Amino acid sequence: MKLFRPLLVGLGAIALGLSAHAAGGAKHAHAPEGGWDFAKVPAGQLDKDSVQRGFQVYKEVCASCHGMKLLSYRNLGEKGGPFYSDEYPNANDNPMVKAIAAEFEILDPNPDENGDPVYRPAIPADTFREPYPNAQAAMAANGGAMPPDLSVITKARGHGNEGDGASYVYSLLTGYKDDKIKTKPGDDGLNVNYIEFNDGDKVGTLVQPTGLYYNPYFAGDTTPQWDGDPRHAPYGGFLAMAPQLPDGRVEYIDGTEATTSQMAKDVAQFLQWAGDPKQGQRKSLALPTMIYLVLLAILLWFSYKRIWRDVAH
């Protein structure tokens, strides 16, 4: 959002404050190399292929723990969605969307004539299947941690700049230090996982609590687990989600090589779409609106100059 820096500076200290207050102890999230196309001014759009692949990653990896209750299968085939096709302006008729929906068996909101619950394959109008029947079940299955709903996760992270949320998802998924984890036997006989840091000020050992995973992009506090200088504890915190995307975790239908970075980028782009499915429409309306307003301002400027030309003011 480079265009907006001057505007925000115009708001002066306020903008400064907004970025300062939320810095926290986590490392600043970053976009993949080359940045996000969709965040580009004046008319950047999502990469449809990437969103499609990202849906595959969501479906095969994330969906087992994370729901997306604000999305319906039909959304995938609506304009701007990953499986939209000009042939099927009504997403309910889109065979691709129908096939995807039918893969999921859901609980019909309406019981049968005896009042018994009905399980049936989903149709495009149904919302995404929830992985757990309720929050308690979700927490019980995840060691007490609640996997957040991902419907608007890209809007719920960062500072509201276009791409902040996607950068967070990308950084988090690629930011695990699992290749640096070492194991030693602990006092109670159980193994202890730890990471050794030797990076400028940050010298010491960070012990990973059981069932949690260190990530520099996750907001938290590492001091209690850190045996080095507490003034230079590592960025980030510990989260209950293990690294999910080792190379080759999914086999992409389109043949793209499924590296960690590629999968993280794709799923971030899918979630970016899911958080604001109408962003494509927004971006395509943006430039014409701006051009119209600028031209109108120029016309009014000349009109103003003519009307005032004989008046000293």
Partner 1 sequence: MSGHESTYKPETGFTKWLDSRLPIIRLAHDSFVDFPTPKNLNYWYTFGGILAVCLAIQIITGVVLAMHYTADINQAFGSVERIMRDVPYGWLIRNIHMVGASMFFLAVYVHMFRGLYYGSYKAPREVLWLLGCVIYLLMMATAFLGYMLPWGQMSLHGANVIINLFGAIPLVGESIQSWLMGGPSVGNQTLQRFFSLHYLLPFMIAGVVILHIWALHVPGNNNPTGIEVQETEKDTVPFHPYYTVKDGFAIVVFLIIFAAFVFYAPNVLGHADNYIEANPLVTPAHIVPEWYLLPFYAILRAITFNIGPMDAKLLGVIAMFGSIAVLFLLPWLDTSKVKSMRYRPVAKQFFMLFVVVCLLLGWCGASNPDNAIVSMGEDKLVVNYTDAAGLEGTRVFEEYTPAAQFRDAQRDGGGVAAIAIQKAPAFTFKTLSQILTAYYFAFFLIILPVLGLRERPKGEPDSIHQSVLGQDAPAAAPAE
Partner 2 sequence: MSASNETAPDHVDEERRDFIHIAAIAATAGGAGLVAYPFVDQMNAAGDTKAASSLEVDISKIPLGGEIRVLIGGKPFFLRHRTAEEIAAAVNTDPSKMMDPETDQERLVPLPDGTYNPAILVTSGACTHLGCVPVGPAQGSVGDYGGWYCPCHGSHYDTSGRIRKGPAPSNLPIPDYEWVTPAVVKISL
SS (H, E, C) 165-176: HHHHHHHHHHHC
Residue 190 vs 307, nearer CB to partner 1: 307
Q: What's the CA gap between 226 and 205, in Å, rounded?
A: 6
Q: Is 41 in the site for partner 1 (CB under 8 A)?
A: yes
14 part of the interface to partner 1, by CB under 8 A: yes
Q: Which amino acid, one-letter code, is at 4?
A: F
Scanning 91-99, 155-163, 174-182, 258-266 for contacts with partner 1 by CB under 8 A, the matching segment is: 155-163
- Identify whether the C-beta of residue 256 lies closer than 8 Å to the C-beta of residue 47: no
Interface pick for partner 1 out of 157, 173, 197, 234 (rule CB under 8 A)? 157
Distance of CA 187 to the CA centre of its chain: 39
Among 119, 185, 231, 255, the residue binding partner 1 under the rule CB under 8 A is 231
Distance, in Å, from the CA atom of 234 to the CA atom of 215, rounded to the nearest integer, reads 10
Residue 64 or 281 with smaller CB distance to partner 1: 281
Residue indicated by tokens 């600028």:
294
Rule CB under 8 A: is residue 9 a binding residue for partner 1?
no
Task: Provide the binding-site residues for partner 2, judged by CB under 8 A.
Answer: 72, 74-75, 78, 90-92, 113, 124-125, 292, 295-296, 299-300, 302-303, 306-312
Residue from 48, 96, 159, 217 that binds partner 1 (CB under 8 A)? 159
| Distance of closest approach, residue 254 Cβ to partner 1, in angstroms | 27
Using rule CB under 8 A, residue 94 touches partner 1: no
> Does 140 sit near partner 1 (CB under 8 A)?
no
Q: Minimum distance between the CB of residue 156 and partner 2, rounded to whole angstroms?
A: 22
Q: Which residues contact 208 (CB under 8 A, 6 or more apart)?
A: 181, 192, 193, 194, 195, 214, 225, 238
3-state helix, strand, coil in the chain (%, to 5): 40, 10, 50
Q: Name the residue nearer to partner 1 (CB basis): 80 or 263.
A: 80
Give which of 121, 124, 37 is closest to 76, Cα–Cα.
124
Burial 206-224 (b: 16+ CB within 10 A, else e): bbbeeebbbbbbbbbebee
Cβ-count burial of 244 within 10 angstroms (0-12 exposed, 13-18 middle, 19+ buried)?
middle
Gap between the Cα atoms of 251 and 116, Å rounded: 39
Comparing CA positions, the residue from 163, 135, 165 lying closest to residue 153 is 165
Nearer to partner 1, 236 or 262 (CB): 236
Work out whether 125 is an interface residue with partner 1 (CB under 8 A). Answer: no
Question: 2 or 306: whose CB is closer to partner 2?
Answer: 306
Residue 155, binding choice from partner 2, partner 1, none, Cβ under 5 to 8 Å by partner class? partner 1
Residues 259-298, mask of contacts with partner 1 (x by CB under 8 A): ----------------xxxx--xxx-xx--xx--xx-xx-
Angle at 264 between CA 247 and CA 169, to 5 degrees: 145
Exactly one of 77, 165, 175, 236 binds partner 1 (CB under 8 A); that residue is 165
The site for partner 1 (CB under 8 A) is made up of: 1, 3-4, 7-8, 11-14, 16-18, 20-22, 24, 41-42, 69-70, 75, 148-149, 151-152, 155-162, 164-165, 219, 228-231, 275-278, 281-283, 285-286, 289-290, 293-294, 296-297, 300-301, 303-304, 307-308, 311-313
